[in-house]
């Protein structure tokens, strides 16, 4: 009987499992590892849309496949190694927590090429890629400052890692470029994915009088709460307009497809090299969802800011900027360097929260 239960467990694992079309020997195999499911409506789905774009672009030359719901940790190493053994020549591991696993497998398979999203460890056959999400968040901050009636917004945050802190700071900087009295409240839910808890956090903030929400968590639950309560919110990773037709102002949308196509092309041409890429609005790895539910002048301002960031005229982190306690960080006209941003572990002025250590 135990065997039966185990067989059941195995078949359940297979449901979570591996999607692969019939193999064709002459095609280049490009493989993806997702932390969530390819239909999570957020982060992993955005990567999968990129994969589909690759498949469409190189339909006759490339075969793509993916492993989904791969937990961060020891399991990730097994999953990535399985892909490397199965003949994948280019593997994208798409979550920060796959970093060490990817490094280990890359060392074992020197002929296979690896790319790890949002990490910082590299190797001769291991590159990294990331998106300048903070550029989008700066625009969100500006819109929030124009929209809020009480000079503030609430930020539903996942974990206090540099990526998230950078986003909070960029949002605040954008808002204070419009309204110097703007205060940002931050609420930590300590999860990437829990619709109920994200909704609870949103409700708690709205009950305390906040009228604009933004989030760095993965589900549309906060957007849905904003819609029900008749306030405004920003979407995250995907266009969340379906969950908040009257609530969504805009969303920062991950559009990895262009990058994936570029890298797969390099792989096919034999010019692939391990690189560290950090692209933004200009290169098209993130995009702003349509600006909705706002007056025309706010929309115009947002579009202008977007254009300035794309042209390089505006860098969100340009001095003078003080740290939260008032000590100077950047002098007037000084721009933050990438290293500081990627390791950001302090708040800037205007954030109404104590950074968890």
Partner 1 sequence: MTIFEAILLTVITASTPLVIAALGELVTERSGVLNLGVEGMMIMGAVAAFAGAQIFGSAYVGILCGILGGAIFSLLFAFLTLTLVANQVATGLALTLLGLGASGMIGESYVSIPGIRLGAIAIPLLSDIPVLGPVLFRQDLIFYLSIALVLGVNWFLFRSRAGLKLRAIGDSHSSAHALGIKVIRTRYLAVMFGGACSGLAGAQLSLVYTPQWVENMSAGRGWITLALVVFASWRPWRVFAGGYLFGAVTILQLHAQAFGLGIPSQFLSMLPYAATIVVLVIISHNRRTTLINTPASLGKAFVPER
* Binding positions for partner 1, rule: CB under 8 A: 1-2, 4-6, 8-9, 11-13, 15-16, 36-37, 39-41, 154, 160, 185-191, 193-197, 199-201, 203-205, 207-208, 219-221, 224, 228, 238, 240, 242-243, 352-354, 356-357
What does the alpha-carbon distance between residue 201 and residue 207 come to, in Å, rounded to a whole number? Answer: 10
Smallest gap, in angstroms, from Cβ of residue 93 to partner 1?
Answer: 20
Tokens of 325: 């306690």
**Pairing mode, if any, of strands 321-322 and 328-330?**
antiparallel
Q: At what angle do helices 221-229 and 195-207 cross, to 10 degrees?
A: 40
Smallest gap, in angstroms, from Cβ of residue 23 to partner 1?
Answer: 24
H/E stretch holding 54: helix 43-57
* Residue 11 vs 276, nearer CB to partner 1: 11
Within 10 angstroms of residue 48's Cβ, the number of other Cβ atoms is 22
Write down the residue that tokens 């409240």 correspond to.
185
Smallest gap, in angstroms, from Cβ of residue 226 to partner 1?
Answer: 12
Smallest gap, in angstroms, from Cβ of residue 168 to partner 1?
Answer: 13
Q: Residue 25, SS3?
A: coil
Within 8 A by CB and 6+ apart from 149, the residues are 211
Within 10 angstroms of residue 333's Cβ, the number of other Cβ atoms is 8
* Residue 32 vs 259, nearer CB to partner 1: 32
Smallest gap, in angstroms, from Cβ of residue 213 to partner 1?
Answer: 12
Sheet containing strand 90-93, edge to edge, reads 18-19, 62-67, 28-33, 90-93, 113-117, 126-131, 276-279
* Residue 10 vs 307, nearer CB to partner 1: 10
The answer to whether the bond into 147 is cis (omega within 30° of 0) is: no
* Residue 61 vs 229, nearer CB to partner 1: 229
What is the Rg, in whole angstroms, of the alpha carbon atoms belonging to the chain? 21
* Residue 91 vs 223, nearer CB to partner 1: 223
Smallest gap, in angstroms, from Cβ of residue 199 to partner 1?
Answer: 5
Smallest gap, in angstroms, from Cβ of residue 249 to partner 1?
Answer: 18
* Residue 111 vs 357, nearer CB to partner 1: 357
Task: Quote the distance between the C-alpha of residue 217 and its chain's center.
Answer: 9
CA atoms within 13 A on the CB side of 39: 1
* Residue 12 vs 307, nearer CB to partner 1: 12
Q: Which residues share a beta bridge with 235?
A: 251
* Residue 207 vs 269, nearer CB to partner 1: 207
Smallest gap, in angstroms, from Cβ of residue 130 to partner 1?
Answer: 25
């Amino acid at each position: 009987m135990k065997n039966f239960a185990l067989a059941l467990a195995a078949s359940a694992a297979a449901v979570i499992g591996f999607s692969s079309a019939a193999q064709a020997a002459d095609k280049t195999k490009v493989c993806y590892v997702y932390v969530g499911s390819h239909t999570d409506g957020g982060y992993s789905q955005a990567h999968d849309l990129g994969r589909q774009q690759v498949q469409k672009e190189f339909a006759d030359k490339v075969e793509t496949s993916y492993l989904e719901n791969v937990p961060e940790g020891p399991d990730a190493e097994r999953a990535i190694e399985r892909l490397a053994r199965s003949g994948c020549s280019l593997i994208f591991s798409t979550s920060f927590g796959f970093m060490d696993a990817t490094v280990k497998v890359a060392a074992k398979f020197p002929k296979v090429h690896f790319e790890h999203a949002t990490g910082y460890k590299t190797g001769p056959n291991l590159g990294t890629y990331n998106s300048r999400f903070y550029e989008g968040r700066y625009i969100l901050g500006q819109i929030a400052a124009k929209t809020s009636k009480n000079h503030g917004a609430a930020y539903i945050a996942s974990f206090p890692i540099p990526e998230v802190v950078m986003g909070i700071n960029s949002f605040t900087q954008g808002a204070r470029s419009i309204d110097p009295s703007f205060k940002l409240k931050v609420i930590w839910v300590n999860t990437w994915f829990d619709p109920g808890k994200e909704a609870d956090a949103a409700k708690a903030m709205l009950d305390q009088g906040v009228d604009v929400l933004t989030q760095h968590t993965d589900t549309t639950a906060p957007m849905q709460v904003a819609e029900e309560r008749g306030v405004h919110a920003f979407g995250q990773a995907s266009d969340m307009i379906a969950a908040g037709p009257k609530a969504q102002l805009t969303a920062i949308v991950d559009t990895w497809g262009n990058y994936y196509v570029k890298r797969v092309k390099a792989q096919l041409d034999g010019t692939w090299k391990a690189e560290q890429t950090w692209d933004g609005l200009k290169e098209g790895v993130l995009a702003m969802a349509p600006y909705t539910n706002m007056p025309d002048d706010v929309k115009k301002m947002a579009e202008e800011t977007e254009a300035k960031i794309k042209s390089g005229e505006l860098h969100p982190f340009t001095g003078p900027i003080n740290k939260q306690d008032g000590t100077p960080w950047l002098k007037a006209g000084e721009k933050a360097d990438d290293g500081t941003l990627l390791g950001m572990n302090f708040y800037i002025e205007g954030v109404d929260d104590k950074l968890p250590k």
